Every structure is written in C-alpha cells, then in structure tokens.
Amino acid sequence: MGRKRVTLADVARLAGLSQTAASMILTGRPDTRLSAEAHARVHAAAAELGYRPNLAARALRTDKTRTIAFISDVVATTRFANGLIRGTLEAADKAGHVVLLLETGGEPAREVQAIEAALDRQVDGFIFAAMRAREVFVPSLPAANRVVMLNATSRKHPVSVLPDEFEAGRAAIRLLDSAGIREGLALIGHNQVVEEGYFRSETVSRRLAGIRAEMDQRGMSFLAEESCWNWEAAHGYELVKGLLDRRVPVEALLCLNDRLAFGAYQALGEAGLRIPRDMPVVSFDNDELAADLRPGLTTFALPHEQMGQEAVRLLLAPEVEPFEHLIAMTAVLRQSLANIGGAD
Amino acid sequence: MGRKRVTLADVARLAGLSQTAASMILTGRPDTRLSAEAHARVHAAAAELGYRPNLAARALRTDKTRTIAFISDVVATTRFANGLIRGTLEAADKAGHVVLLLETGGEPAREVQAIEAALDRQVDGFIFAAMRAREVFVPSLPAANRVVMLNATSRKHPVSVLPDEFEAGRAAIRLLDSAGIREGLALIGHNQVVEEGYFRSETVSRRLAGIRAEMDQRGMSFLAEESCWNWEAAHGYELVKGLLDRRVPVEALLCLNDRLAFGAYQALGEAGLRIPRDMPVVSFDNDELAADLRPGLTTFALPHEQMGQEAVRLLLAPEVEPFEHLIAMTAVLRQSLANIGGAD
DNA sequence: ATCATCTGCTAAATCCTTTTAGCAATTATG
DNA sequence: CATAATTGCTAAAAGGATTTAGCAGATGAT
C-alpha cells in the first residue's frame, strides 16, 4: 500500500555501497573498476528490492527515454496502418523501446503539435509514417533528432523505408507470362496522374513503371488500360463492367490493388465469368480481403510489418545510409491465377 | 545550432522574477497572489524565448506525465483496432495527453512487461483493450493507477467500455420485423459455446441474447440456426451453401458478423440468388467491407471510435461509476435490406 | 625511500521543475 | 498605537537518477 517506490539509494544502502557504485553497476558501464563482489551485491540488492529505475529522473539527466515517436497521417481509415504499427511495435519492444503514437490527419498544424508533444517528452527518434507512400512535409526539427520516413519520403530526411514496388511490378508480369498469359491482358486502375507521381503515391508510380519495364522487355503490351481516380471496389466494378459491356476480348486482369480486384470479382460474377478459368486475376497489396475472396486472390503483398521493423532498426542503428531502403513485395499465390502451384 | 534548451530559469531571469513566480504563473496556479503585471511579464518572456517545459523534470517532481498507456492484446490481426485506437488518440489529444501504445499478444508475460514499461514511464493511466470483447487477465498494478477496460472486462477493474450488443440484437430483430420479415429467417453463425459466454466474446453472447429476447417478445423464431466455430468469410459461405443445398426454404439471413455475411453473399451469388430481392441480409459490425459489398450490407456498427473516446474520458474524469459503460450500436442502412429508406 | 601509477570506491554536482516555508512591506483591526 | 492580517514575492528543498572529480591505500618503478 503505502510503500514508496524503491530508489537507487535504497539499493545502494542495502548493498553497502555508494549510489555511484550502484548506478555504474546497474547501468553496466564498461570501464569501471568495481570489484566482482560489488557487482554481485548490487545486483542482489536490486533484485531483492525489486528496483526499477525512475525513467523520468534518468531522462532528466541523460536526455534519453527509450521511447520513439510514431507520427502518422492517418491510423484510421486504412487497414494498412496495422502492419506498419505492428512491425514498429515489435522491433521497438525487442530493442527495449516503447512507442508513442501520434496522429496528424496530415494537417501541418497538428504535425507541429505532435512533434512538440514528442519533443517535450524527449523521444529518442521519430518515425514519420504515411498511409499512402508519398512525399511528406515535415516541420523542421532540432537537428540532433533522428528521423526515419516510413512508407513516405522527405527532402529533408533522406532515410526512408519503402516497398519495392518497381520490382513487384516486374514480378507480376513475369508471373503472368509464366502462367502463359501474354496477350489479352487488361490493366485495371491505371491513372496518368498517379503514374507521373504527382499525387498520392510516390511508390505506386513505380509499381506501374516496373510493370511497363518488364512488359517492354518481353515485348508484351496491354489490350486495354482502364483508368480511374480512386481505387475502391466500386471503381473496379465499374471499370470491369465497362470492359465486358464493350465486349473487349479480355483474357486476364492485372488490377493495381486488391480493392479494385474485389470490384472486378463482383463484375465478373455478375457476368457469369469464372475465375481463373474464364479470367485469371492478379493484383497488388495483399489486403485482408484477398484471402477471403472466392477464389483466393493472387497478389503481391505490401510488406508492412517488415517495413515497420526496418524503420526501427534504422532509427536505432549507430549509423545508416541516407537512402531509400526497399523491402521486397512477395507474391502470395492463390487460386485466381491457374497453372501455378498455389499456396494459401 | 548549439543553443541549449530554454529553461524556466531563463524565463524567470528575463522576466526579472524568481523561478518560483515563473513556475506558478506558467502552470496557472489558482490562488497565487502574484500581480497582473508579473503574469504579463512571465508570459511575454516565455513566448519570446519559446519556452517549453521539460516534461521529464516535471514528471520527476509531480509524478504526472500527461501520457496514457494503451495496452492491447492484438493491434495486428484485426481492423477493429483502428477505430479504438483512433478514438483514443483523438480524445487524448483533445485533453492534451499522449498515448503510449503497447501490444502483448495476449501473453501474460508480455503483459507484465508492458505494464512495467508503462509504469517506469509514469503514465497517468491504463487502457486495456481487447480486440474481441472478453474478460482479460490483468496482472496486478499499484493500486493508485487508474484503469479503464476497453472492449474488455476484468474482475479487478470494474470500469469498462463496451458496445451495447444486447440492444443491437433487439434492434436487428425490430428492423427485420418492420421490413416485413417475420418468418423464414435463418441465423448464421450461432455458436452454443459463444452464446454461453465461456469463450472469446463476452459481448457477442449478449448480441444473441438481445436477438432472442426481442424474438420471444414478438413471438418470432428462427427457421434455421447454422452454427460454426469461427466467423470468417469461408464459414459463412459453407453454412449458407449448406442451407441452400438442403433446400431449406429460407427467406432472409441474419448473420452474426459481416465476414459471415460476406461469405453468405458469395454462396448466394453462386446460387444465382439476388440480394435483397430473393434474400435480404442483415448483419453486425460494420466492417470496412460492408460498404464495398454489392449491394451494400445493412449492418449494426461497432462504435469503436466512440468507445475509444469514452475510455479516455472515463480515465481522465475526476470520478467515475465503476460500471460497464455501454455505447450504442447504430444501424447502417444499405441496400441488402429492402423496403427501408436507405442511407449511404 | 621516493614518486608515480593503479585499484576500488565515494562526495557532490547536475539535469529542470514544483512546492514548502517564510520574508519584508503594507494595510486593517481593536 | 500596537498587533494582526494581507500582499507580493523568493530561497531552498525535493524528486531520483548519472557523471565528474577525486580520495586513500596498495603496488610498482627507480
């Protein structure tokens, strides 16, 4: 009940040594000359009393808090956040750190507030995460602070972690080709503006660039490129329905994300077309719903969890190359593409 | 560059007053007798220097950190987490607090670790969140700590925030009845064990209890109750396909969650049945996918965001009734149920 | 024997606030 | 007019760690 917190002084007293000695021993200083016996006594005393250092006091002295700030634009609307946060949490935990979660809604004013709140608490580093990979405005920070951009890029802060979209684009084409699909392929969700990288997603433009590069190399080309602004299920439905209504002789779909693919499934279902027999479908993201679709959707997974882990690793590493760190997107093979040995 | 952090002493010096005065003025103490002029000078000095208090120092002195710990079993697997976290973040932000996010995977050892990490950082309160509402084991905490259970219950900690599942169950039946559906109704996802509340979900058993209570009152009963253990899309598919194969003359489906409903859609689609004309569907959760289904799924929304907000409110309120605080689940009307003025 | 070096340890300062106790001058009270 | 109360403010302690500077005794070098 009324027992006060155990302090270092208590430990020192029980061990019969000075606070200095206790501190040095417990923090594991390297070149101290304290005896083995002193070490043993201090550790024993700490264990006996259940000593836990007061981190506020330590922070006051050392300016280190073993806390990292995760500042994201939106946790809310997107299920993508989960993986990034989970990976971050996991890696932080392993490194004995803890995560302060802050959300800005992408509004500069709230970004400034969030940064100040984090600075006030003397976090050891910042992870700025965007839910759609893009160039993010980051208000200026005292130079000493370490920053990693997660699923985002920034002029000021060159260390960033991104999915390897270009390579995924290439791999998707290779996968289709190796399944015997070289013609009659429709691209669902092409968007000129996105492709040029002006808006929304830095990386999705690379996804497309990878697709086109690999197709060029193999002498392939799209039979149709259906374009839309947003990439929701409803848009996928409309685009594919349009294709079918116009009787374009499409033989396979490459959807730019899983929600578009979901919409495509709906349109194909209504038209009585079977996947993959009548129409194989390949997509990107590995959204949760990809596994729930019937048949399961073959898709290239955004490696969010690994990205979160990598961000923490970079943040805490003694030194780091100031580059983009690309994480591979692996194919998740399901039944929407036939002739391929499938896994879950 | 090399400029050090501005401290309270700097502010006091510039204002020509003592640190004590500066502290009292900036923390807005009520009954101090400092002159209006002193107030003005201190505020001016603080503004001029861009003073921000060192929260570590303050925490050391006051034991308050304006930080709350959000300890959850799983952020990962479930999209439900988003709403809870977002609501928490929002309300915390409004109250000038910040959120430490910790994940335990439901493992007691990690729970203990997470609590210690949070205690070490002197958080002002704990929110324990479970992704499926249930009784959660919480390792013992120093009695002084405030605790709110979010989407969870605990013997030790009586303040909890839960969705009002019972009432939602009743409302679902009322909604079906008012749409003219009184017979031929099938329940998808019934599960004896869940209903008795032994496992997984404290609240889903109430959902069922509400359904049954309202049906009894109206003299209604189910034509079929299809039971399964897990509530994934695949199970919904199997159950509904089974019903159709057995030619049970079902006229409407009440699914216990949206993923089951998703599976039901798939089975109905394959059988060539139209929703809602041939088969209306009503469900629970308002999962993200409910809006993306065709037709849109009418469902009772889990009010996760409000729940998160309420949890913070309760945590920071001066005093609180040690009860369950139930948050209403509102109907989201879409096209899967006809004869009802539909929204969105 | 003398001086330097090493060994094993500690006293005290420091980080930055908040808070307690109290001082000196002024005003009110009997 | 003496005493009490009020006003407006400050010095110093406290909170719990880390770190700097340095002490006393033992050992080694010359």
* A299 pLDDT tier (thresholds 50, 70, 90): very high
Does the pLDDT at position B108 exceed 50? yes
A227: Cα within 13 Å, side-chain hemisphere: 6
CA distance A343 to A275: 17
State the pLDDT at residue B165.
95
pLDDT for B113-162, tens place per residue? 999 999 999 999 999 998 876 667 777 787 778 999 999 888 889 999 99
Whether B263 sits inside 8 A of A292 (CB atoms) is yes
Residues forming a β-bridge with B188: B226, B255
CA distance B276 to B189: 20
CA distance B193 to B134: 14
Residues forming a β-bridge with A249: none
pLDDT for B82-101, tens place per residue? 899 999 999 999 999 999 99
pLDDT for B16-50, tens place per residue? 999 999 999 999 888 778 889 999 999 999 999 99
Across B102-111, B127-136, B189-198, B203-212, least confident range? B189-198
| Dihedrals phi, psi of B296, to nearest 5 degrees | -55, 145
Nearest to A311 by CA among A138, A52, A130: A130
| Dihedrals phi, psi of B190, to nearest 5 degrees | -55, 145
Instruction: Kindly list the structural domains of chain B, giving each domain's residue range(s) and its CATH number in brackets, ordered by start.
Output: 8-53 (1.10.260), 67-163+305-327 (3.40.50.2300), 165-303 (3.40.50.2300)
Of all helices (H) and strands (E), which one includes residue A70? strand A67-72
Nearest to B172 by CA among B264, B298, B274, B295: B298
Whether B89 sits inside 8 A of A75 (CB atoms) is yes
pLDDT for B294-335, tens place per residue? 999 999 999 999 999 999 999 999 888 889 999 999 999 999
CB B190 within 8 A of CB B221: no
Query: B266 to chain A: which residues are within 8 Å by CB?
Result: 294
* A194 pLDDT tier (thresholds 50, 70, 90): low
State the pLDDT at residue B77.
64
Q: Which nucleotide is nearest to A62 (CA to C1')?
A: D18
Question: What is the average pLDDT value for chain B, to the nearest integer?
Answer: 90
| Dihedrals phi, psi of B72, to nearest 5 degrees | -125, 155
Whether B121 sits inside 8 A of A56 (CB atoms) is yes
CA distance A253 to A186: 5
State the pLDDT at residue A144.
77
Does the pLDDT at position B194 exceed 60? no
Helix spans in A246-303 (H) = 258-270, 289-292
Whether B82 sits inside 8 A of A85 (CB atoms) is no
In angstroms, the CA of A33 and the C1' of C28 are apart by 67
- Beta-strand ranges (E) seen in chain B are 67-72, 98-103, 125-135, 146-153, 160-163, 185-190, 224-227, 252-255, 281-285, 298-301, 324-327, 331-332
State the pLDDT at residue B341.
41
Residues 113-152 of chain B with CB under 8 A from chain A are: 113, 116-122, 143
- Give CA B289 to chain center in angstroms: 18
Query: B289 to chain A: which residues are within 8 Å by CB?
Result: 289
State the pLDDT at residue A48.
95
A70 touches chain B (CB under 8 A): yes
CA distance A34 to A17: 11
Does the pLDDT at position B193 exceed 80? no
